[in-house]
Structure 1
């Protein structure tokens, strides 16, 4: 019966994000399509996609300007003062930030002594440690994400001394392929792009 629960949860891990993403995307496009159908005299296939992309780019562009930054900051502080909304908003924002910045996060491949000294695991250097963590160590430590093979959504964040990491001169894509394929595709150097 252990195999059933293992495969059931593995299936959920794969199906739930895909289903939620599909649901959200379809609903955004169908809402935009209905809205545009009411107010625009001209309708053609793909207009919702074009409008959604333009709105996202416009909001991104506006959010980089001083005035809108202050408005967004005020809105976030306002949301942060409502107990349940604060939790939901902060959780979704952190998750979205992690997902959309993950390409930047998985850039620096390194080898670290994990799961015990004497062996090396491929991992990715994470952002600098925050002050509450860094001050607990007498020497410089870094955070490394060691992903599990075949599943990049699971892994371990380990904190190791900087002197124990071995930087790799490999492409981030090939390092990710190495992890996803459980080592059957070896990482390529940056020179062989």
Structure 2
């Protein structure tokens, strides 16, 4: 009976992560497909029109890639510069546009921000430490001592976190990639670090 129970739990370890991954991907594909104002039906002989899940996401990915290709050559175009300047000067739009732009650039742009994983001593008395990412080394532009750093502390099992300003002596660099450390933190420390 004990062997059967062990096999059952071993099966759970295999089936649950795969099932959850499939369900999440399935939901994301249908959610993104639903964002399109049109469906992309495919005509199949003898069956008629069929909506194939994923064609919407494929269309979006191809469209963004094509837009990125042209943007690379025309980013210095006066139209794009004027549009960006307008977005950065309009009060409410400025907050939304610059926040989203900075967030995207933090992950995929040339100014990647989550590539410096660190161990932060949050409370020296209890020696509580957290894994975070240095997002800004120089805070003098906002009137904070240059002895302090801005560190983003992600939360486990979510895409949120908190920003803390800490003295530089409370920060110790971790010799690992930012991607591996982000995965480690988001998984609650249960994933393997390569």
Q: Check whether TM > 0.5.
A: yes
Distance in 2 (CA, whole Å) between partners of 1:166 and 1:65 is: 40
Q: 1:168-187 alignment to 2 at 5 Å?
A: 168-185=174-191
Structure 1 residues 155 and 136: alpha-carbon distance in aligned structure 2, compared to 1, 3 A threshold: same
Q: Which runs of 5+ in 1 are unaligned?
A: 1-17, 38-43
Q: 1:4-153 alignment to 2 at 5 Å?
A: 25-29=32-36, 31=38, 33=40, 50-66=58-74, 69-79=77-87, 86=93, 90-91=95-96, 94-95=99-100, 97-99=102-104, 101-102=106-107, 104-117=112-125, 118-129=127-138, 131-133=140-142, 135-137=143-145, 139-148=146-155, 150-153=156-159
State the structure with more CA Rg. Answer: 2
- Equivalenced residue count is 157
Deviations 1:58-82 (A, max 9, x none): 2112222246642122123445666
CA drift of 1:106 comes to 2.8
Distance in 2 (CA, whole Å) between partners of 1:120 and 1:30 is: 47
Deviations 1:109-138 (A, max 9, x none): 1111114453322111214445532x431x
Structure ranking higher in helix proportion: 1
Q: TM-score, normalised by structure 1?
A: 0.58
SS at match of 2:176: coil
Structure 1 residues 83 and 147: alpha-carbon distance in aligned structure 2, compared to 1, 3 A threshold: closer
CA drift of 1:182 comes to 2.9
Structure ranking higher in strand proportion: 2
SS at match of 2:115: coil
| RMSD between aligned residues | 3.9
Structure 1 residues 126 and 72: alpha-carbon distance in aligned structure 2, compared to 1, 3 A threshold: same
Q: TM-score, normalised by structure 2?
A: 0.58
Q: Which runs of 5+ in 2 are unaligned?
A: 1-24, 44-50
Distance in 2 (CA, whole Å) between partners of 1:127 and 1:92 is: 20
